[in-house]
Structure 1
Amino acid sequence: MKRAFSILILTLVSAVSHAQQGEAFMVVEAHSGKVISAANSVVKRPVASLTKIATGVIIVDWADATGADLSKVEATVPASVQAIGGPNPMALQPGDRISLRDALYAALLGSDNLAAMTVADHVGREMLRARGRTGDGVAAFVTEMNELGKAINLTKTRFASPHGLDLPKQNGFSTAADVAKLSVYAMRKPGFTFITRQKDRQVTVQGPAGPRSFNVKNTNELVGEPGILGVKTGTTNAAGPCVSVASDRDPLVRDKPDGEKAVTPRRLIVVVLNNPDRFNRARGLLRQGWDSYDRWVAAGAPIQDREKEILNVPNPR
């Protein structure tokens, strides 16, 4: 009892400490990497279910690499989901089966933690099997998440789980800048973008009593507004309300001296951490961001200090 009370106190102290850090945000144009505005953007902190952006990226990359059809590959809900606790909107139980596609919809749209564990366990075991190894599928998957982080220069990020909940010995962290990098990378992938721009999706779970259907709604209130493509929401006591948003505008088209057309795609990524009014804050940052970006382009897109002004996101996979 004393140990449980001590863990509770430490968790509450951690949550208060992070809450006192206040808001962090970053606004960046994804194609040029131009940082439009930022505040507290390199401060390490919990990012809750924004972690699932990395989970979704790993699944999409794995499917592309192996040729797997996510709609046809079924995952079995592992016993480890019982340790998560919290909401279980699809009433998932160990032994239930769900396609990787539907589990990914549940994880990315509905922020279902058990669905995230299920896809991580399945794909992690498949990765181990491909390497001739056995072991903990979720642990292998989290290792892959952190390898992705290294590959795209998430220098102040550590993933501790595929879901982002704060659990004993599973406290990950990131920054607004690193989440922006991760979001830029994720939204380069049509398979990922297709999922996160959906307002809702019907999914099916196979259980002992037969199939169960659920309508998973996107937790991102901005999806459905003009130009919005996702990306993800997240909330825990320690992280506060968080959101990453991607917004596209029609490309800029101009005539070149040789008669060809120059086409410049335009996409803003807005990351807001620890703001109770995250959606309206993101809307405001998008408006300001597009205005600032338009002025920058009209001025000839000048760069004074590339290291400070450009968010570099490699494309290693």
Structure 2
Amino acid sequence: MSTARALPRLFVWPLALLVLAAAWATSARAFETTAPTAILIDVGTSRVLYEKNADEPIPPASLAKLMTVAVVFDKIARGEATKDQTFEVSEYAWRTGGAGSGGSTMFLPVGSTVSLDDLIKGLVVQSGNDAAIVMAEGLSGGIEAFAEEMNALAAKIGLSHSHFVNPHGLPAPGQQVTMRDLAVLAEYLIKTFPDEYPLFSQESFTYNKITQKNRNPLLQLGADGLKTGHTAASGYGLVASASKDGRRIVLAMSGMDSSEERAREASRLMNFGLQDFEEVTLIEANAPVGEATVRGGTSSSVTLVAEEPLKMLVPRGSLADVSRQIVDNGPLPAPVAEGQRVGWAVFSRGDETLRQVPLYAESAVPRENLFMRIADTIVGHLSWEAR
């Protein structure tokens, strides 16, 4: 839609409106969590709905495996690896992450061969430390080389305050993440690998005749991913995502004292994000929103439309008393060009202007021919004399 004639530039309020800012602040204050560090993000708008010490660096525990699987998915996407590849389970992988290690394990037998497909499932569903090591050794030649690839990809996707030393998240000097970075990582996995993402909601996986359930407590409550983690240093943490009514949220939290507290607080944060906010469409793109009067044209009016939809994510119910007014500089002198900017829609609450959206002519209105213009002038003059 081209603009043939522009109105004077209008001042347009940004989405972070003064009136709505108060509503956001009130909504955020209404929620609190016992988690020492947490963040909640609306994926569609990238808006932070809640945060608490979200940039505080902490040991990642098994949440580091999200970065590990991101590297693996990236290698598969670039043709550097295939799921039917097989790797041998080294003694180091068995001793460090296997059955006798005391940590989460896929129970890989030393000296056995295992496919990359099974390793991915063992990592995501069973949180196997042995699976992470076998993948790092098989794909990159060792832990250190794989960690370099983790950090390179982390920098590429914007994890600015995280550093990885190993693929499994066991304690290591210098290894740290933040909840904001993990939320960014979760969004990356969801958006970049949509065909792989359903794996994060797989409830169990059986390998070596041993079935283990997914540790994510939110899978039974509407979430569809992603990962839990725990060490003595990091406490109990979780990165999760859920969707409802076309909206998707991502949350990350850590530092809780028990798996029960993690499940409770994660559930509360998820419900807060899905139930306490709504996306409101104020104007549809190219949908008629009003009319402007035209003088001297083949039509006495022209339909007004907005070029882009106006959608806002707001605390639920906060726009209940918002009104819309159509303002134009009519009557518009013909000719009016299609796409000509001819007015704006003003959204307000009481005397407070919230947003102004430019409106455009949906179609052209040519000038009347000379005879009709003379007739209109005479009629207008007679109507004036008759007053």
Q: Do the two structures share a fold, i.e. TM-score over 0.5?
A: yes
Alignment partner, residue 158 of structure 1: 163
Q: Pairwise mapping of residues 146-295 of structure 1 onto structure 2 (< 5 A)?
A: 146-167=151-172, 169=173, 171-188=174-191, 189-203=193-207, 212-226=208-222, 228-251=223-246, 266-275=247-256, 276=258, 277-294=261-278
Give the CA deviation at 1:49.
Answer: 0.5
SS at 2:269 equivalent = helix
Whole-angstrom CA distance in 2 between matches of 1:151 and 1:79: 33
User: Does 1:49 pair with 2:65?
Assistant: no
Q: Pairwise mapping of residues 26-37 of structure 1 onto structure 2 (< 5 A)?
A: 26-37=39-50
Q: Which amino acid aligns with 1:26?
A: I
Give the unaligned 5+ runs of structure 2: 1-33, 283-309, 315-387
- C-alpha change, 1:89 and 1:179, in structure 2 (3 Å) is closer
Alignment partner, residue 143 of structure 1: 148
SS at 1:243 equivalent = strand
Q: Which amino acid aligns with 2:199?
A: I
Whole-angstrom CA distance in 2 between matches of 1:191 and 1:242: 26
Whole-angstrom CA distance in 2 between matches of 1:288 and 1:193: 23
Give the CA deviation at 1:142.
Answer: 0.8
Percent identical pairs in the alignment equals 25
Whole-angstrom CA distance in 2 between matches of 1:193 and 1:271: 17
Whole-angstrom CA distance in 1 between matches of 2:154 and 2:281: 30
Alignment partner, residue 120 of structure 1: 136
For these two proteins, the number of residue pairs brought into alignment is 246
Whole-angstrom CA distance in 2 between matches of 1:302 and 1:104: 36
Spell out, residue by residue over 1:38-77, the C-alpha distance to the aligned partner (whole angstroms, 9 max, x if none). Answer: 000001111210000011111111111117441x211111
Alignment partner, residue 301 of structure 1: 312
Q: Is the 8 A contact 1:52 1:116 kept in 2?
A: yes
SS at 2:58 equivalent = coil
Give the CA deviation at 1:250.
Answer: 3.4
- C-alpha change, 1:191 and 1:38, in structure 2 (3 Å) is same
SS at 1:42 equivalent = coil
User: Does 1:100 pair with 2:96?
Assistant: no
Q: CA RMSD in A?
A: 2.3
Give the unaligned 5+ runs of structure 1: 1-20, 126-136, 204-211, 252-265, 304-317
Give the CA deviation at 1:195.
Answer: 1.2
Give the stretch that moved more between structures: 216-225 or 41-50. 216-225
Give the CA deviation at 1:297.
Answer: 6.9
Q: Is the 8 A contact 1:60 1:191 kept in 2?
A: no
Spell out, residue by residue over 1:123-158, the C-alpha distance to the aligned partner (whole angstroms, 9 max, x if none). Answer: 113xxxxxxxxxxx2221111100011011111100
Q: Which amino acid aligns with 2:226?
A: V
Q: Which amino acid aligns with 1:53?
A: L
SS at 1:86 equivalent = coil
Whole-angstrom CA distance in 1 between matches of 2:67 and 2:52: 23
Q: TM-score, normalised on structure 2?
A: 0.59
Identify the match of residue 91 of structure 2 among 79, 84, 93: 79
- C-alpha change, 1:296 and 1:46, in structure 2 (3 Å) is farther
Give the CA deviation at 1:300.
Answer: 4.6
Q: Which amino acid aligns with 2:147?
A: V
Spell out, residue by residue over 1:192-214, the C-alpha distance to the aligned partner (whole angstroms, 9 max, x if none). Answer: 312111001233xxxxxxxx333
Q: Is the 8 A contact 1:180 1:269 kept in 2?
A: yes
Bigger share in helix: 1
- C-alpha change, 1:138 and 1:297, in structure 2 (3 Å) is farther
Q: Is the 8 A contact 1:56 1:192 kept in 2?
A: no
Whole-angstrom CA distance in 2 between matches of 1:114 and 1:231: 19
Q: Which amino acid aligns with 2:87?
A: A
Whole-angstrom CA distance in 2 between matches of 1:88 and 1:221: 16
Whole-angstrom CA distance in 1 between matches of 2:231 and 2:105: 17
